[in-house]
Amino acid sequence: MVATSDFYQLIDALKADSANSLGLFMPEITLSVFIALFLAVRLVTSKLDLFWVALAGAVVGLISSNPLQLLDGSLVSEELFTGLLVHDGLTVAIRSILMLFLVLFLVFTKISGVPDKEDGADVYSLVFGSTLGMCLMASANHLLIVFMAIEMAGVPSYVLAGLIKGRKRGSESALKYAIYGAGAAGVMLYGISLIVGLTGTAHLPTMALALVEIIPAAGLGEQAVLCLAAVMIAVGIAFKLSAVPFHFWAPDVFHGACAEVNAFLSVASKAAALALLLRLAVGLGSVPLNDIDQPQAEEVHQEAVLNDVPTTHMVAFENENVEGGSSEAAEVVETAPAGEAVVEHDPRVEVKQAYDEALTPVRNFISLLVAFFAVVTATFGNLAAYGQTNIKRLLAYSTIAHAGYMMMAISPLMVMLGTDNNAAEEAASALIQYLVVYVFLNLGAFSIIAFLRNYVGSEEIEDYSGMVKSRPVLVICLALIFFSLVGLPPLSGFLGKFAIFASLADGYSTVGSKVLLILLLAGGINTAISLFYYLGVIKTMVMGETNEEHHFGDRPVGKIELTYVILITIPTVFLIVCWQWVAGFADEAVKNFIS
């Protein structure tokens, strides 16, 4: 009877919350509606070109994401569907990035000719379905949603990897991708079960409150379970990021899949996985102010004042009685002598400081774990790119290396979280800035590769020899993109990478962590290493002898292809001019994210 009563209470709460939640869930609803439309059309006919329908869906999704609300400063963090999701600046920013990429990606596929009319409905359904999962990854506030979102994003990607029918290498890569994905998902689910079993909840803010109680009194066994759970959850995220040592699928999948699918996997998947990593790291490493119970905080504060004990010490004895949080920001107004200003005081602030102090071991563990993955991933990706003869495999290892660079921003964020939250937000902002640049860089690189495939019929680097003589615009644009991926000034890639490195330097100067200094040095060395293999490709295209076998001069590059490549490359060159807008967008995305 009690279980039935609880169930009906949950349904009533969901009904009361659904009106506001559905309004803020419109991008995901838009994607779902268009997926249903694609599947319905596919049942009727396979000859209809659904590109314009798909493009309309992506545009509607971008508009409903409403990125402009980040500019007016009116965005307030809200939990959706009884706490399963959260709508805040990070959610809006990642949704907007994903939807903008989806629009550009669809235009790219239309120009390149993949997919054709027959496969269009199937491919658009898979792409929209995967994007839906990625949007949920960015807004997940519950570990079950985390797992479900990763699977929703991953399963369509496995099918997309084998998009080209009758191609043995593509089928093998899709099978390998699916097997690795299933293994990573199983490990992650087991890790989720461990931490949920220990804390008694899967809701991230409530889990952080539970960890405040568990960690100070945890024995060796509980500590081992927590560490094991964290590592297992990290396996699932590392797989999505293609972080070493869970990268094995990436080179083979990128080699076997078409360049269009590679663009989707290298940009959208990485953006969503990094947003999820950021969400989990902050969610488990600190307690949001609004989730601290107001009456309980007042009681702790008053008792501390009466006993002349610092609130941080009193919380150690009272935190086991804290059951949850209130979403209301009520404040206690202290009386002041006549003629003096009234000082407003929120006792939750002191309680939050105590909670954050108790969660220091969690933040330190996450910082070290991510730092290890970041250094190994960036180093391995750059070193393995040497000796690659296929341009898609080279960019696969480049994608792995850049995942390592972006993961580096998490470590300074975690070590400064709770001590200097403004600096921690700047580290999160640096990650968003890098993602904005990365969208144009990798999409531009794979679009050029796809167009060259259509003209040359090869994706081997040696077959690009001397191509500057026949297709100079494509070669120049690819060179600019590669130099930006290295991080050479004044290209946009330099500013994205500089923001990451600046956050590492700020973290080191603030807390003096040697781990951050090692990360900074590793990032600089890897940047220098990456220059050589990018230059190798450019050297082949510019200084190599023309390969007559592929008849470069027979067919000129179409105006539509040239226009698209130039438009995608423009941000690489000129984004530095309006970088304040990019930085402002990223700052607003993470504003009050750490509260």
Per-residue confidence at 291, pLDDT binned at 50, 70, 90?
A: low
pLDDT at 341 over 80: no
pLDDT, tens digit, 9 for 90 and up, residues 54-100: 999 999 999 999 888 887 767 888 888 888 999 999 999 999 999 99
Tokens describing residue 69: 């609300």
The CA distances from residue 506 to 314, 410, 415, 422, 427, in Å, are 32, 13, 11, 11, 9
Question: How far is 38 from 53, CA to CA, in rounded Å?
Answer: 9
> What pLDDT does 76 receive?
82
Question: How far is 546 from 552, CA to CA, in rounded Å?
Answer: 8
For 289, which DSSP code?
G
pLDDT at 130 over 90: yes
Neighbours of 476 (CB within 10 A): 17
**Dihedral angle, C-alpha 462, 463, 464, 467, nearest 10 °:** 130
Per-residue confidence at 407, pLDDT binned at 50, 70, 90?
A: very high
Question: How far is 287 from 270, CA to CA, in rounded Å?
Answer: 26
> What pLDDT does 470 receive?
85
DSSP 3-state of 390: strand
Question: How far is 581 from 571, CA to CA, in rounded Å?
Answer: 13
> What pLDDT does 332 receive?
37
Question: How far is 416 from 267, CA to CA, in rounded Å?
Answer: 28
pLDDT at 6 over 70: no
Question: How far is 530 from 395, CA to CA, in rounded Å?
Answer: 11
What whole-number percentage of the chain has pLDDT above 70? Answer: 85
Question: How far is 492 from 315, CA to CA, in rounded Å?
Answer: 47
**Domain chopping of the chain, boundaries:** 387-595
> What pLDDT does 324 receive?
40
Asked whether 481 and 387 are in contact (CB, 8 A), the reply is no
Asked whether 177 and 161 are in contact (CB, 8 A), the reply is yes
pLDDT at 306 over 90: no
- Main-chain dihedrals φ then ψ at residue 341, nearest 5 degrees: -70, 145
What whole-number percentage of the chain has pLDDT above 90? Answer: 58
b (16+ CB within 10 A) / e for 537-569: bbebbbebeebeebebeeeebeeebbebbeebb
Q: Hey, what amino acid is at 474?
A: L
Asked whether 462 and 443 are in contact (CB, 8 A), the reply is no
pLDDT at 320 over 60: no
pLDDT, tens digit, 9 for 90 and up, residues 508-540: 998 888 999 999 999 999 999 999 999 999 999
Question: Which parts of 512-546 fold into alpha helices (H)?
Answer: 514-543
